[in-house]
Structure formats: structure tokens, C-alpha cells
Amino acid sequence: MSAFGVSPREIAGHSRGLAHVALARQVAMYMHHVVLRQTLTAVARRFARDRTTVAHACRVVEDRRDDPAFEECLDAIERAIQGAIAPLRRSSRGQW
């Protein structure tokens, strides 16, 4: 997630020490759950975390959405995800 200056490897890692890495990971979990509509359990498996950790991440991100700059960042990430998956959705419906 370049929006946070964190590599995919750091997001997938198990480090808990750096706040900016933890936030990027929480946002990634949130996007998987909310935008990609994956269950908490599926997201937990993807990130090798517990389901309750994913639920906590989603709460943290929701709580921070009151910050306009953070909200703008999340909106940009969501638009990027939607843009990336739109062709896949059309393809799965035979619209290519």
C-alpha cells in the first residue's frame, strides 16, 4: 500500500512494533472485508491473523474515518481497488 509507504511484505509480516505498518495492515484488512466483501474469517486467513484481530482492525479504521484526510485516503484506495476489480467482475459476467 504505497499510500502508507509500507511494502506488501511488511503488511503480510507479523511485526507489531511500527505504528505506520500496523495502520497500513489494518486498512488492508478493512478493505478486504468492506470493499471486497470477504468475511472476517476469510480475511483473517489471508493475513494469518485471528478473526478478532480483523474485527479490531475494522473498528480502528472506522473510528479514524472522522478525520477528513484519512477519509480521503481511504476513498482513494477504495476507488483504486474498485477500478482494478471492475474488469474482473465484467469478465465473470461474460461482458468482455
Going along the chain from its start, the domains and CATH numbers come out as 2-92 (1.10.1750.10)
How far is Cα 32 from Cα 29, in angstroms, rounded to an integer? 5
Grid coordinates belonging to 7:
511494502
pLDDT the model gives residue 80: 96
Q: Report how far Cα 12 is from the mean position of its chain's Cα atoms.
A: 12
**Is the per-residue pLDDT at 1 higher than 50?**
no
pLDDT digits (tens, 9 = 90+) for 52-63: 999 999 999 999
Whole-prediction pTM: 0.86
Residues 6+ apart with CB under 8 A from 48: 12, 14
How far is Cα 82 from Cα 63, in angstroms, rounded to an integer? 22
pLDDT digits (tens, 9 = 90+) for 21-76: 999 999 999 999 999 999 999 999 999 999 999 999 999 999 999 999 999 999 99
How far is Cα 1 from Cα 3, in angstroms, rounded to an integer? 5
